[in-house]
Amino acid sequence: MIPPTALSTKLGRLHLPNPVLVASGTFGYAREMAGLVDFKKLGGIVPKTVTLNPRPGNPPPRTAETTSGLLNAIGLDNDGLEYFLQNHLPWLASTEVACPIVLNIAAKSADEFPRMAARVKGLPGIAALELNLSCPNVAGGIDFATKPDLCRAVVASARDACPDLPLLAKLTPNVTNIVEIAQGAADGGCDAVSLVNTFLGIAIDWRRKKPILGNGMGGLSGPAIKPLALRCVWQVARAVNIPIVGIGGIATIDDVMEFMVAGASAVQMGTVSFYDPTAATRVIDQLPEALATLGVSSVAQAIGLVSKTWHPAI
Candidate residues 14, 33, 70, 185; the one interacting with ligand FMN per rule CB under 6 A: 70
C-alpha distances out from residue 180 to 162, 191, 195, 236, 309, Å: 25, 16, 13, 9, 21
Q: Are strands 128-132 and 199-202 parallel, antiparallel or unpaired?
A: unpaired
Candidate residues 55, 88, 152, 170; the one interacting with ligand FMN per rule CB under 6 A: 170
Least separation in angstroms between CB 90 and ligand FMN: 21
Distance CA 189, CA 244 (A): 14
Question: Is residue 270 part of the contact set for ligand FMN (CB under 6 A)?
Answer: yes
Per-position x/- string for 74-113, each x denoting binding to ligand FMN as judged by CB under 6 A, each - no binding: x-x---------------------------x---------
Question: Is residue 51 part of the contact set for ligand FMN (CB under 6 A)?
Answer: no
Q: Which residues of 160-186 are buried (b: 16+ CB within 10 A; e: fewer)?
A: ebbeebbbbbbbbbbbeebbbbbbbbb
Is 135 part of the annotated catalytic residue set?
yes
Per-position x/- string for 204-223, each x denoting binding to ligand FMN as judged by CB under 6 A, each - no binding: -----------------xx-
Residue 108, burial from CB neighbour count under 10 angstroms (0-12, 13-18, 19+): middle
Footprint of ligand FMN on 123-162 (CB under 6 A): 132, 135
Distance CA 55, CA 139 (A): 13
- What number of chain residues touch ligand FMN (CB under 6 A)? 26
Candidate residues 225, 232, 264, 266; the one interacting with ligand FMN per rule CB under 6 A: 225
Q: Which of 135, 151, 162, 232 is catalytic?
A: 135
Residue 40, Cβ neighbours under 10 Å: how many? Answer: 12
Distance CA 218, CA 147 (A): 21
* Cβ distance to ligand FMN smaller for residue 45 or 296: 45
Candidate residues 184, 246, 249, 304; the one interacting with ligand FMN per rule CB under 6 A: 249
Q: Are strands 44-45 and 20-22 parallel, antiparallel or unpaired?
A: parallel
* Cβ distance to ligand FMN smaller for residue 257 or 296: 257
In terms of Cα–Cα distance, which of 294, 292, 241 is closest to 265?
A: 241
Q: What are phi and psi of 244, to 5 degrees?
A: -125, 135
CB 189 within 8 A of CB 241: no
In terms of Cα–Cα distance, which of 285, 282, 287 is closest to 260?
A: 287
Candidate residues 92, 203, 269, 302; the one interacting with ligand FMN per rule CB under 6 A: 269
Question: Is residue 18 part of the contact set for ligand FMN (CB under 6 A)?
Answer: no
Least separation in angstroms between CB 207 and ligand FMN: 25
Candidate residues 23, 30, 193, 264; the one interacting with ligand FMN per rule CB under 6 A: 23
Q: Can you give the C-alpha Rg of the chain in angstroms?
A: 18
Q: Tell me the window of 19-27, 156-164, 206-214, 236-244 that interacts with ligand FMN (CB under 6 A).
A: 19-27
Least separation in angstroms between CB 189 and ligand FMN: 20
Q: Tell me the window of 10-18, 35-43, 248-256, 287-295 that interacts with ligand FMN (CB under 6 A).
A: 248-256
Q: Tell me the window of 94-102, 121-129, 171-179, 242-250 that interacts with ligand FMN (CB under 6 A).
A: 242-250
Q: Please report how the helices 253-262 and 279-294 are oriented relative to each other, as an axis angle in degrees rounded to 10.
A: 60
Helix (H) or strand (E) holding 224: none
Rule CB under 6 A: which residues touch ligand FMN? 23-26, 48-49, 70, 72, 74, 76, 104, 132, 135, 170, 197-198, 221-222, 225, 247-250, 269-271
Catalytic residues: 135
